[in-house]
Amino acid sequence: MNHHVEVLLSEEEVDRRINEIGKQISKDYAGKEVHLICVLKGGSFFLCELAKRIDVPVSLDFMSVSSYGKDTKSSGVVKIVKDLDESIKGKNVLVIEDIVDSGRTLSYLMELLKDREPASLRLCTLLDKPERRVVDVKVDYTGFQVPDEFVVGYGLDYDQLYRNLPYIGVVKFD
C-alpha cells in the first residue's frame, strides 16, 4: 500500500527519554545486578541504547515470540520462537519491549517468566498505546504513550521495514 512516514518523536526526544529511564533504572536497582531480557526483534534498538545508560552491572538475554495466527487474538497464546539461553531463577529481571499494544503478548510472557522464579520481574517498554489495551499488563517503565496509530522506527517495523529509523514515525497511508 502507498504510504509515507511522518516523524512523531524525534531522535533527540527519544534519546533524552532513554537517558532518563536509564538513570531511573540505575537508581531503582542500586547495589544490585539487573538482567535485561530483550524481546526480539523490536526491542533490540531500545535495549542497546538503554543498556549503555544503566550504571549497575547488566547481563543480557534474548527471546523471540510470535503469535499463533488468528487464534492468538482470543487465546492470547504466543509461541516461543527462541527461548532464553540462561535460567532467570533468582535474578532481577527487566523485560525490554518495543511497544505494548493490546497487551496480549506481554501478559502471556510475563506470566511465563514469573513461573521461572526470578528474584524480581519488571517490564520496560519504549512505547505504550493505552487506548488499545485488551489485557491488563503492569508496565514499570514507559518511554512514551503514543496515540492509536501505526508507529515505526527504533526497532518497530511495517512489513519488516523501517526498524532502523533513528526516530519514531507514524505510517500514513496515501
Task: List residues with catalytic annotation.
Answer: 101
Q: Is residue 94 near ligand IMP by the rule CB under 6 A?
A: no
Q: Which of 50, 94, 103, 165 binds ligand IMP (CB under 6 A)?
A: 103
Q: Which of 42, 143, 153, 169 binds ligand IMP (CB under 6 A)?
A: 42
| Secondary structure class of 95 (helix, strand, coil) | strand
- Name the segment binding ligand IMP (CB under 6 A); options: 28-36, 55-63, 85-93, 101-109: 101-109
Select the binding partner of residue 103 from Mg ion, ligand IMP, none (C-beta < 5 to 8 A, by kind).
ligand IMP
Neighbours of 43 (CB within 10 A): 27
The footprint of ligand IMP on this chain (CB under 6 A) covers a number of residues equal to 15
| DSSP H or E run through 38 | strand 34-40
Strand partners, 153: 156
Sign of CA dihedral 170, 168, 38, 123: negative
- Name the segment binding ligand IMP (CB under 6 A); options: 9-17, 18-26, 92-100, 110-118: 92-100
Query: Which one, 60 or 65, has the nearer CB to ligand IMP?
Result: 65
Interacting residues with ligand IMP between 151 and 170 (CB under 6 A): 151-152, 156
Q: What is the identity of the amino acid at 125?
A: T
Select the binding partner of residue 37 from ligand IMP, Mg ion, none (C-beta < 5 to 8 A, by kind).
none
Nearest to 91 by CA among 65, 58, 64: 58
Neighbours of 94 (CB within 10 A): 24
Within 8 A by CB and 6+ apart from 11, the residues are 166, 167
> Cβ 42 to Mg ion, closest distance in Å?
4
* Residues within the interface to ligand IMP (CB under 6 A): 42, 97-106, 150-152, 156
